[in-house]
Structure 1
Amino acid sequence: MYIKGRYIVSACALLFLQQATAGAMECSKAANAVENTICANKGLYELDAQMGTVYRGLMKASVEAQPELKRTQRLWLKARNDCAEDVTCLEHSYRDRLKLLQTQQMDAVAHNPTGIDKQVMEDLQRSFLGASKGANREVAVERVLASLQTDFEETSFPGDLDKDNPSEQTHFPKTIPKDVTPDEWKALTASAIEGQDETGQTSYSLVDLDGDGQRDLIVQTYAGGTGMFTYVETWRRDGDRFIKRSTEPESSLFYTNDRGANQSVHWIKARGNIYVAYRNGAYGVDHVYLLNPLKINREVPTVTVRYSYSLNVPSTQHKDGGTSTYELEPDLRLTLKRAITKANETQPSNGASQRTPICPIPATGAGENDYYSYGPVQYTLEDVFDLPVIIGNECYIGKLVDWFGSYDEKNGLFAQLALRKPDVDGDGRSYEVNGRRHVTEVSTSIGKADGGAAN
């Protein structure tokens, strides 16, 4: 399964509330002023219910930590009781404790990379290196991930269209979809599964993600918006119901942004395990994160691929609107190419920038800040670097932008060089730039993910 530029999120607020209130205190047995105050206040009662759910989950998830957990919970109960009938004090006490326990719960259930995970990471590193020396070396990462993509035995079905807002909202189906077994349908309907976002098209896929013989659930929601987001969350089959990967109401395994990012996802199978290979790209780098599809991913095996570019200014340029072309003057083309080549070669490897003027600041005149940068970049574009461009006897401030390193095997990198004269309004111009890349380094690490894979 390949997903690019979509958003998937699934949520189960109703189920969470049902599970939480099922573990709340029995108000008929309230024995003191604190318990009576909690039972008389709906907000406090729900906080107490959430506390019970998280506490029991922690006790179940970490047997070794049970003695310490019990000790600290007793201390908290004693401090809570000091609030007596003060509702504000009780609410603060509950929220502070809940925040701490939820963090501990996330840590307890988070996936720790195994030896096999690390081997898969190293396998990918070797494959990327090998492919970078082959015939299609410019797209080594894309080629390798495509070759590992797994074909699921899956059943997919859409959500039911909302009767009042059919173009922007769906709901979990009310009738059993085709190829869903009665047993699966019973577990699905027992789990109160629904797309999390208030608007968005949600779809569902049943796939065995952990090899236990039972199919798990992938929930995808395309929420659109300015970034054209797609959110993906998973639910693990556990007996007679499906359990969401994370207890966070708005969690997602990953998301992709089709505007303002360069991201892609391949579901791969390696050494007997299924992984989400999430690629987050930018100019000069691809990070490939290996996500466990059914777990919380805190420490993530990562393969980082770095590139260098040979940049070029095409002699044929497109006019505004792209419907017609014109030819650059040879001298101007050579000037632009030399400027971007020099700037590309002298960029600091650590991405640091020094606050120095790009063009000389005259002894007199307004607008000093206009000499340091071209200006802000629109969110759909990546700011690669600023540079000076000398045309004739005049210095122009230039900025190279691209689409977060998006790369096409046929056309390479597509970028733009924007120019303006300092302290002059309305004198901007832009030129198309393209480039070819080659791999310079492939490294591995284990740590936090970035982009839409951050968890």
Structure 2
Amino acid sequence: MDCTKAASTVEKTICANPALYELDTQMGSVYRGVIDANPQVKSNLKTAQRLWLKTRDQCAENVDCLDQRYRERLQTLQEQRNEAAANQPAGSVKLMLDDVRQAILTASKTDAEFPLERALHTLAIKTGTTSFSNEADNGNAFEEAHFPKKMPEGVTQDEWQALTTSKVAGAGENGNTSYMLIDLDGDGLRDLVVDTYAGGTGLFSFIETFRRTGDVFVRRVSTGDAESSLFSLNDRGANQSVNWINIRGQVYAAYRNSYYGIDQVYFLDPFKVPGSVPIVAVNYRYQLWVPKTQKDEASGSSIRLDGALHKALTQALGKVSKIEAKDVGDQSSPLCPIPSTGEGDGAYYSYGTGHYTFEIVGDMSVVIGEQCYIGRLMDWFGGYSEKNGLYAELHLRKPDFEGDERSYQVNGRRRMTDVTTSVGQFEGDNGG
């Protein structure tokens, strides 16, 4: 605190008391330490600190009250700093993450939309692998598929003997399964990755790994159910993928779990149970717009928005975050005015419940003419393509839920803003 500029009662009280001034100095140091240890928390930390300052200021001239407030906040910040410091990578992991981060930064100089994809492509294992799938007898798709009965092309006689001896066929009895032979541990022998489609509401695929040990392939863990998987991929209600990469001689499954505004990549050791793992986070900022020509997906026809409607929708987009999804419920204030005779006041505070298949970016008011609508921008967990960029939808409804629901296409283009590294818990759909 710069005591030459102290203006409020609280500031003057702190500057007049050496013990309080020392606590304030410590606060500044620890606060910066938390941000330095984990830059990703900067925005949330600022919000929390502003709320704490309001609580502190309620003490006014009460020295004991101020002392207690500072000590409580210092303890909280010190715990956050220590936790963040514990999650900082060290040794070979730090070198690996530094390599990935630098590859992403380098790619962003020429392609700020797809720096992660470009970096992972350069690190991907492109040679020395053989892939094949389970098959049905006589090519009959209605028959239950099974492990191939004949040695697939690209598989050596030695590997085929180990595969049949290991009876890995059980991994593919209940769904479409693909197999990949790849050296995962650098011992010169190719190991096995088994990708089994299990379906369900999430259209899940479970990925298991088998290490080549002598004349057999040994599953990473001993059980044969979904819990033995290294990770799973959710093909509905998520935006996930995996790349097998090699960095500094170590093979990783680069498991990507994406949302609006952020790609998170977890680097999984193929033969370890995922716990605390290296993580890279790539953040983006979007430029959003409502296309003037809207396509009706059902009929295939197109309509052109009139100028007033297009302006209203564009103004509404200005109210939502361009960097992160706000999975909102009830707001602190109504989005549209509540009439004195209105029923169900809760209907005026948010669009309503969501669904697991899409991500809520934010709710807002949309004023068209003299009518106020409740709006919601939603997307599919940051799903993004080179051709179309971000595809999202802006849904509108009348506050009273009575008819006149509308939906408009929203597009966006992104640019990377920063990339951070850390070590933390794996948050994928794994059973390990």
Query: Shorter-chain TM-score: what band?
Result: 0.7 to 0.9
**Does 1:372 find its partner at 2:349?**
yes
Secondary structure of the corresponding residue to residue 311 of structure 1? strand
Q: Which runs of structure 2 are paired with 1:270-285 in the superposition (5 Å)?
A: 270-285=247-262
CA-CA distance at 1:163 after TM superposition: 9.1
**How far, CA to CA, are the matches of 1:403 and 1:324 in structure 2?**
23
- From 213, 217, 231, the counterpart of 2:188: 213
With over 3 angstroms needed to count, the CA separation of the structure-2 counterparts of 1:394 and 1:409, relative to structure 1, is same
Q: Which residue of 2 aligns with 1:444?
A: 421
**How far, CA to CA, are the matches of 2:280 and 2:218 in structure 1?**
30
Relative contact order higher in (CA < 8 Å, ≥ 6 apart): 1
Q: Contact 2:287–2:322 at 8 Å: present in 1 too?
A: no
Q: Contact 1:168–1:200 at 8 Å: present in 2 too?
A: no
With over 3 angstroms needed to count, the CA separation of the structure-2 counterparts of 1:288 and 1:190, relative to structure 1, is same
TM-score, scaled to structure 1: 0.69
Secondary structure of the corresponding residue to residue 390 of structure 1? strand
Secondary structure of the corresponding residue to residue 211 of structure 1? coil
Q: Which runs of structure 2 are paired with 1:390-405 in the superposition (5 Å)?
A: 390-405=367-382
With over 3 angstroms needed to count, the CA separation of the structure-2 counterparts of 1:304 and 1:351, relative to structure 1, is farther
Q: Which residue of 2 aligns with 1:294?
A: 271
Q: Which runs of structure 2 are paired with 1:215-230 in the superposition (5 Å)?
A: 215-230=190-205
- From 354, 357, 363, the counterpart of 2:340: 363
Structure 1, unaligned runs of 5 or more = 1-112
CA-CA distance at 1:367 after TM superposition: 1.9
Q: Contact 2:254–2:267 at 8 Å: present in 1 too?
A: yes
Once the two structures are superposed, residues 219-239 of structure 1 have per-residue CA deviations (whole angstroms, 9 ceiling, x without a partner) of 111233443332211100112
**How far, CA to CA, are the matches of 1:266 and 1:286 in structure 2?**
14
Q: Contact 1:195–1:219 at 8 Å: present in 2 too?
A: no
Counterpart of 1:257, as a letter, is: N
Counterpart of 2:412, as a letter, is: G
Q: Contact 1:289–1:453 at 8 Å: present in 2 too?
A: no
CA-CA distance at 1:434 after TM superposition: 0.9
CA-CA distance at 1:140 after TM superposition: 1.1
**How far, CA to CA, are the matches of 2:304 and 2:197 in structure 1?**
42
Secondary structure of the corresponding residue to residue 113 of structure 2? helix
- From 314, 330, 333, the counterpart of 2:307: 330
Structure 2, unaligned runs of 5 or more = 1-88
Q: Which residue of 2 aligns with 1:253?
A: 230
Mean CA deviation greater in 324-333 or 159-168? 159-168
CA-CA distance at 1:345 after TM superposition: 5.9
- From 114, 135, 150, the counterpart of 2:125: 150
With over 3 angstroms needed to count, the CA separation of the structure-2 counterparts of 1:265 and 1:343, relative to structure 1, is same
**Does 1:130 find its partner at 2:106?**
yes
CA-CA distance at 1:389 after TM superposition: 0.8
Count of aligned pairs between the two proteins: 342
Q: Contact 1:120–1:270 at 8 Å: present in 2 too?
A: yes
**How far, CA to CA, are the matches of 1:141 and 1:131 in structure 2?**
8
CA-CA distance at 1:313 after TM superposition: 0.9
With over 3 angstroms needed to count, the CA separation of the structure-2 counterparts of 1:168 and 1:424, relative to structure 1, is farther
Counterpart of 2:107, as a letter, is: A
**How far, CA to CA, are the matches of 1:391 and 1:130 in structure 2?**
45
Q: Contact 2:171–2:194 at 8 Å: present in 1 too?
A: no
Counterpart of 2:91, as a letter, is: G
**How far, CA to CA, are the matches of 1:126 and 1:180 in structure 2?**
36
- From 238, 261, 264, the counterpart of 2:241: 264
CA-CA distance at 1:149 after TM superposition: 1.5
CA-CA distance at 1:175 after TM superposition: 4.2
Q: CA RMSD in A?
A: 2.7
- From 277, 281, 285, the counterpart of 1:308: 285
Mean CA deviation greater in 323-332 or 258-267? 258-267
With over 3 angstroms needed to count, the CA separation of the structure-2 counterparts of 1:158 and 1:254, relative to structure 1, is same
